[in-house]
Amino acid sequence: TMSRLYEEALRDDAGGGEAWEHFRCYQGELPDVAHVESGRIYAVVVTGSHHSVNDPEQAWIPPLLAFLRTCVERGNCGVFGACFGCQAVAAALGSRIVPNPSGAYRIGVEEVVATEELMKLSDYRKACTVFRPVLPQGEDGRARLRVIESHAEQIETLPPGATLLGSSPCTEVEAFCLGNRVLAVQSHPELSMGVVRETTVPHLLKKGYVSEEGASAALEELHGELDDDLVLFMAKIFLHHNHRKQSHAEAKDRNPRSS
């Protein structure tokens, strides 16, 4: 499943021994808020979904948004969201989620232009020491990241206090962060090119989300290298390294003589 792919990609390499729990939010499953408040849960990953954040028939979405809002407000729980997860976090923090301006379903490879803020972000810079962007920087010195996208809706405006990290011709808010509490991307870094070509595109065509022409256009785009490893590595640093820094700071507060 999608959540298992993220566990494999984002598990702490530093031997933290963290335990991953998987919740089917669409079936009403959510973590216990008390575990967030106590620090037992220090990070949350919200994956993609075929559901819309705006669907009034999905009774599980408001509780999910309330939970995410609590995580962010507590300040001790990092939240990473991708595609639906990106939109859910933004909606929880006050953003509007709207249909793609083109009116068409977006499926294919998007070229996301990094903002200056992303280029300066320590988590991004560390990730780039391991995975270099596959495309050269533009004349403006900004990175361009190749990522897979599959969505009918997008974030209209940033949540209050958030920082824009990337934009594309299709989507203004491709990625954003909120301090060291939120990192969100509109793309699907967990999906391989082969899976999207062989499974996702045919499914969207069958369900009528894309036309024959749209499916053909997507398949033409779905080739070449992607920056998924870079995005996932940045998310891993965000989730685990920031937690370790926070834990160390809290320990020093309790014992000022510790180092």
Helix, strand, coil percentages (3-state) for the chain, rounded to 5, are 40, 15, 40
**Residue 245 pLDDT exceeds 60:** no
> What does the mean pLDDT of the chain come to?
91
Cβ partners under 8 Å of residue 189, min gap 6:
9, 82, 147, 148, 228, 231, 232, 235
Q: What is the model's pTM?
A: 0.91
Answer yes or no: are the C-beta atoms of 106 and 149 closer than 8 Å. yes
Q: Tell me the pLDDT tens digit for each residue of 144-198.
A: 999 999 999 999 999 999 999 999 999 999 999 999 999 999 999 999 999 999 9
**Residue 202 pLDDT exceeds 70:** yes
Question: DSSP assignment, residue 166?
Answer: E
> Percent of the chain, pLDDT > 70?
91
Q: Tell me the pLDDT tens digit for each residue of 102-139.
A: 999 999 999 999 999 999 999 999 999 999 999 999 88
**Residue 259 pLDDT exceeds 50:** no
- Which pLDDT does position 251 carry in this prediction? 43
Which is more confident, 47 or 249?
47
- Which pLDDT does position 14 carry in this prediction? 63
